[in-house]
Structure 1
Amino acid sequence: MSVRKRKWKNAKGVELEAWIVDYADQHGKRRHKTFARKKDADAYAAKTHTEVIDHTHVAEAASKTVKEAGELWMKSCANLEQSTRAQYQQHLDRHIIPYIGKEKLARVTVPFVRAFLDRLREGDRSLPDDDLTRMPRSDAMVRNVRVSFGSILSDAQQRGLVVRNAVKELGRSRASQAKAEARHEKRIEVGVDIPTTVEVKAILDSATGRDRVFIATAVFTGMRASELRGLRWDDVDLTKGEITVRQRADAYQEIGSPKSRAGRRTIPLVPKLVKMLREWKLACPKGDDGLVFPNGQGNIEWHANIIKRWYLPIQIAAGVTTPTGERDKDGKPIVVAKYPGLHALRHFYASWCINSHADGGLGLSPKVVQHRLGHSTIQMTLDVYGHLFPSGDDNAAMDKAASALLG
């Protein structure tokens, strides 16, 4: 490996110079790279020498583009659920390729990744309306794209297409910033994200037939919407009074495994729900899949139909609403359902499991709540619901302890 100076004259007769690194890579192929400054050439030569010895060097000329690496990554995701693949493909097509698709992997450094994420967050409104890089992305979207980009680089690293994963390196340097940002994250609240007991009772009282059984099952099992849509009668034991979650229906109406291994779980049922399910089973539309909550033909019900036809109208009928600030043609305030997503009922079930007996709950431990909800880790349960668990403070005991010290 050598570093040499090269001088030449351009078409106007001006003398120019550059520093060139000449070397043979681990495959014996001659390579060279040009730099304006000697110190940059020396640094590259030292780094490249180590990489060649370790058989990890990827020359920029032979480097794949980010787009090519992304396409290879998507092929490696072939066994994932269709909804997950669609999300990854969207990240690639709408947020990664438009910005950096033509860039070589060899040029992806920590500063490069940081600049890319900043551009994503800020956008460029001076560009035409149809330009995908015009609109700024939300912080949540930037985080999701960052994860996908990191996965692309990890896949490329395993294929020997890139030496380092700059996204992971950036993550290590941003750890303290992430902790600072976590201080501002809003905790879920009863009456805001979690329906109150009064609201849930009103919703159940306003529901009838299939809709009431569905909502009651969501309220008293905490199952995800996809798990409820994919629930089979074979997985409902009305004798033992329990449901075993073994599958889910995704956004593309395909039946697949639960969200994680922890998603396979058995949930006990309250007697009144057992009675409701037993009665509903007699009237439930029959289908090849034996679903508990199918559409009229016995097939998987669309998630959007459940929300628009079952869930939202019942909330409005129950008076569980929030004003829009607008009025109709008769001057009456326009209201909408207070809880737009079924996940609010899952939140309610979690709070019901956590609350003490005195507060009308089950008073379960964090580990049992984790199992009931199908969370993959106890940390996930505590991150979302930890603030709902009793603090353990006993005012009488504290007063006695303080009196022993203060007299």
Structure 2
Amino acid sequence: MSVRKRTWKAAEGVEKTAWVVNYTDQAGKRRLKTFDKKKAADDFDATVRNEVQAGIHTPDRASVTVGEAGDRWLASCESIGLERTTIDAYRSHLDLHIKPFLGARKLSQLTVPMITDFERKLRDGTETEKPRSAAMVKRVRADLGSLLANAQEEGLVARNVVREVRAKRRRGKERQAERRAKPKLRVGVDIPTPLEIRAIVGVLQGKWRPLFLTVIFTGLRASELRGLRWVNVDLAKRELHVRERADEYNQLGRPKSESGERSIPLPPVVVSALREWKLQCPKTELGLVFPSPVEDVEIIGRDYIVKRGLWPAHIAAGITKIGKDSNGKVTDVAKYPGLHSLRHFFASWCINRKVDGGLELPPKVVQERLGHSTIAMTLDIYGHLFPRHDDSEELAAAEKALLG
């Protein structure tokens, strides 16, 4: 390997200079790469020496663009059977966020400063691209890292520069900043209060009573509720088993993570409601607990549950706030418009002290009931809801001992 200076005269008679790196790759093929500045040539020479020695060097001519690598990554995701909704999200991130900035770049040309600049442009926006949220930037960066990891496995690139960016950052500092930017869930704002839940339960009728009682007292995700089958409900043992979920394409499949498969005990009010509902429930091929009322569609839609069941229950119970309807008219709307608010309530009910009407469960049990992959996730979301000891008496005793 060598770095040499090359000088020549252009057609207009002007003398020009460049720096050429001459090397042989791990396959024994001679390669040349030209740079405008000697420092850049020296840096490349040092890098390529290590890569050739390790047998991982990928020349620019043998490399593909980020856009091409992205398409290969999506094909790989499809081949291993990832859910359609997951692949759709990956494709959206690739087409809308990665390709506009990096699509034409060769994988071998990517550098750590280039990735840092890419994140800045996503975050701040450009003349032609709108700024992305911090959460979206994080997701896109993760997808770009997965794209490069797949390219590494296929031998298309030597380095995963996204992983190098992450390694150089103080992950603790970054996580603290994310937590500061994301406000904590508040009872009465994001989480229904026990009195509000009591009011909602009091107005539930027909099929909505067993459905919402199930959500309130099991904390099922919408996808888990929509994919719940009678074979997974054991009324004799008062247990509900989460073993399947329905995606946005109305396809049943296993939960996304191993921790998503779980068993949840059922309180008497839910058991009683489900027993009555089982006698009336329409029979379906899949044996769904809450099937769709729409003809030729077996799995009930999330929007149908929210708009036909949750919102009217809020209005009937008087749990409302001032908002606008679909026509833009100012009116009373549901205070907690999303189905996930009931899952938040279930978490708070598991956490609350028994004297306050809760179950007062340990954090690990709460994690298992919710189906979170880690206890850190449970504590990040709901840690502030766990009861604190009253230190007032201890503080008074310490103050007296100190001051007399």
Farther off after superposition, 391-400 or 304-313: 391-400
Q: Secondary structure at the match of 1:163?
A: coil
Q: Is the contact between residue 264 and residue 374 of structure 1 (CA under 8 Å) also seen in structure 2?
A: yes
Equivalence for 1:12: 12
Give the structure 1 partner of residue 29 of structure 2: 29
SS of 1:209's equivalent in the other structure is coil
AA in 1 matched with 2:353: S
Letter in 1 for 2:18: A
**Uncovered stretches (5+) of structure 2, i.e. residues with no partner:** none
User: What does residue range 7-406 of structure 1 map to in structure 2 within 5 Å?
Assistant: 7-78=7-78, 79-125=81-127, 127=128, 134-175=129-170, 176-296=173-293, 297=295, 299-324=298-323, 334-400=331-397, 402-404=399-401, 406=403
What is the CA distance between 1:110 and its match in structure 2? 1.3
What do you get for the CA RMSD once the two structures are aligned?
A: 2.0
* Structure 2 CA distance for aligned equivalents of residues 390 and 398 of structure 1: 18
How many residues get paired?
Answer: 398
Contact 1:285–1:295 under 8 Å retained in 2: no
Look up the SS of the partner of 1:190 in the other structure: coil
Contact 1:220 1:270 in 2 (8 A): yes
CA–CA distance in structure 1, aligned partners of residues 180 and 330 of structure 2: 37
Deviation at 1:194, TM superposition (A): 0.5
Structure 1 residue 395: Cα displacement: 2.9
Q: Give SS of 1:183's match.
A: helix
Query: Which stretches in structure 1 are left out of the alignment for 5+ residues?
Result: 128-133
Structure 1 residues 87-121: Cα deviation after superposition (integer angstroms, max 9, x where no partner)? 11111111111221111011211111111122222
Deviation at 1:403, TM superposition (A): 4.1
Moved more, 183-192 or 341-350: 183-192
SS at match of 2:115: helix
Contact 1:5-1:19 within 8 A present in 2 as well: yes
Q: Which amino acid aligns with 2:35?
A: F
Alpha-carbon distance, 1:178 to partner: 4.1
Give 1:185 shift: 2.3
How far off its partner does 1:69 sit?
A: 1.0
Measured after TM superposition, the shift of residue 396 of structure 1 is 2.9
Residue 54 of structure 1, CA deviation: 0.6
Provide the C-alpha distance between the structure 2 equivalents of 1:97 and 1:394, rounded to a whole number of angstroms: 56
Tell me, in whole angstroms, the C-alpha distance in 2 between the residues paired with 1:151 and 1:313.
43
Amino acid in structure 1 at the alignment position of 2:283 = K
User: Within 1, Cα distance between the matches of 2:324 and 2:103?
Assistant: 44
Cα distance 1:266–1:178, how it changes in 2: closer, same or farther (>3 A)?
A: closer
Question: Per-residue CA shift, 1:63-102, capped at 9, x if unaligned?
Answer: 1110111111112212111111111111111111122111
Are the counterparts in 1 of residues 352 and 359 from structure 2 also a CA contact under 8 Å? yes
TM-score (norm 1): 0.93
Q: Distance in 2 between matches of 1:39 and 1:347?
A: 56
Which of 18-27 and 115-124 deviates more? 115-124
Does structure 1 retain, via aligned residues, the 8 Å contact 2:222–2:302? yes
Determine the C-alpha separation between the residues in 1 that align with 2:57 and 2:13.
Answer: 37
Q: Is the 8 A contact 2:351 2:366 kept in 1?
A: yes
CA contact (8 A) 2:324 2:333 kept: no
| TM superposition score normalised by structure 2 | 0.94
- Cα distance in 2 for residues equivalent to 1:167 and 1:178: 17
Q: For each residue in 1:343-388, what CA deviation from the matched residue of structure 2 results, as whole angstroms up to 9, or x when unmatched?
A: 1000000000000011110100001101100111111111111111
- For the Cα contact (< 8 Å) 1:287–1:299, is it kept in 2? yes
> Aligned equivalents of 2:238 and 2:273: distance in 1?
12
What amino acid is the match of 1:25? D
Q: Give 1:135 shift.
A: 2.3
- Identify if the C-alpha distance between structure 1 residues 64 and 333 changes in structure 2 by more than 3 Å, giving closer, same or farther: closer
The one-letter amino acid of 2:23's match is Y
Q: What code does the residue aligned with 2:146 have? A: S
Secondary structure of 2:207's aligned partner:
helix
Counterpart CA distance in 2 for 1:53 and 1:172 is 23
Map Cα deviations across residues 4-47 of structure 1 (whole Å, 9 max, x no partner): 11111111100111110111100111111111222221221121
Q: Name the % identity.
A: 53
